[in-house]
Structure 1
């Protein structure tokens, strides 16, 4: 016997796909265009008016430069779905937002306080810095943690906190490497990160109203600093004017054969992120009138990007060379 569902019930694995298909079909009937860079972004441009819609499961953000057009679109949604209008954005996916004439400020203050409350650190002393300089953690440091599940849950919550706290990205990346078998030493470092958060739980990101909409990016990398795998860790951050809009720190799956290769692979990762952001900005009608500047602190990596000739010692990074040179 085979049952055929007539309705995608909430909680089934097919439900999310069917819901998004239905929403996409409905919103495109209202002359919205789905972004090719981010399928959850829909935009509509007509004359001097511009409207953007961002959806995450059943949470929707609507913005634009004409309130009448936004109201008309809300009326359309009321006709198609059972929705609730919560007014101006204050919370979205746990992210708190406040808006003024100077700009928009977002933070995860309540989320951070909830984490501190869960591990009973609201009354503890605070730390002024995250990690000790040149701290090296290994999978077998100390004794196994008495509650690995608690450590995993805590680190997963910290990962989401980095959305508005980019200064935590590197530390959280280090802690997330020991999820399989956390040790007491790892838990102590994690508690130090929490005490640092306690010092300023409402820290977040500010996006000024008046800003130069020009992209620029910075990238960097270490080389074989991980004593366990010797893999490199790359990082980059992308700014739109003075506003940080993207950042990432990640341990790569390869072992770099030289410091130049490590720096160059960081440039390659940054190029891919810049390209994706270019497409997003095009959908949002934020044109880039000049090339994006990518800053790197390694002169050898910069020379490889500019030199169209491959040498014997750069053959093993040929694919990444193609990416950076093509974008250059």
Structure 2
């Protein structure tokens, strides 16, 4: 069965919902295809202790402020899921789930979206599938030889599953620091990072980061010198649990090991550490396999874009994958501006 609409949005997480909000305001017909069975996007799969970097007022999608979570300055992942579900209902967004997009194809004047639940033809497609579904694992020697448990950030849930064990956490970003802090008190923790961890100042949270990212976007748009954005400040936001573990001396990073052994890890000088588990907090790659039929991939796997619009296929917009598809577009508060841009340009193709 083939259905037709003006715009298809692929992905029903925060970026897809922000796109839906702006498409509704543009007055076009659209559908949001979500591979998940329930609302909430990737947030519903996060580890138990995960909290936002920002208070609720600075973590909102366009049009609807996030309510304060009682007893919390920084809302937890479960609160975000509830907010996204309510947002979807408030704006009567046409989300169809579970629908997994298999491929986007050119079809004359249309783009054709093939899925496991049928086919949609549209004049524009907004891809908003994010990165959570494509975890990155580095090619470290000996990884296949390690006899313990290996898991990525996406599989981690709670320190209770590792109580009393020797655990190696790999990664010097926010996920690595937060999961290391989560495990610091009831495991024998080894935290390893590619370079010495860079903690942001304790008074910097998502509010300041959004202001910095916005200033960078405006500077670039006006042809001024690149300010460096958030990356110029550091890699790790010192949220309260991270700050507490750091100040207690529990977050002492070791340099990256050179290989895994059957019972642990080994550094270049021959030093070894035994481990029951290795948790790879090593980031993600854009989940873009559904766009492969269009043949748009450029260097480093990215699709070249002008703003959110694909350079080679102007009927396609990419939203929420990182700064290359809009400054701070992978954040709740930051996705609104590029979502408006994608919706306006998509609607212009329909009129």
Q: TM-score higher than 0.5 here?
A: no
Structure having the higher Rg: 1
Greater RCO between the two (CA within 8 Å, min separation 6)? 2
Q: TM-score, normalised by structure 2?
A: 0.20
Query: TM-score scaled to structure 1, two decimals?
Result: 0.21
Structure with more of its chain in helix, by fraction = 1
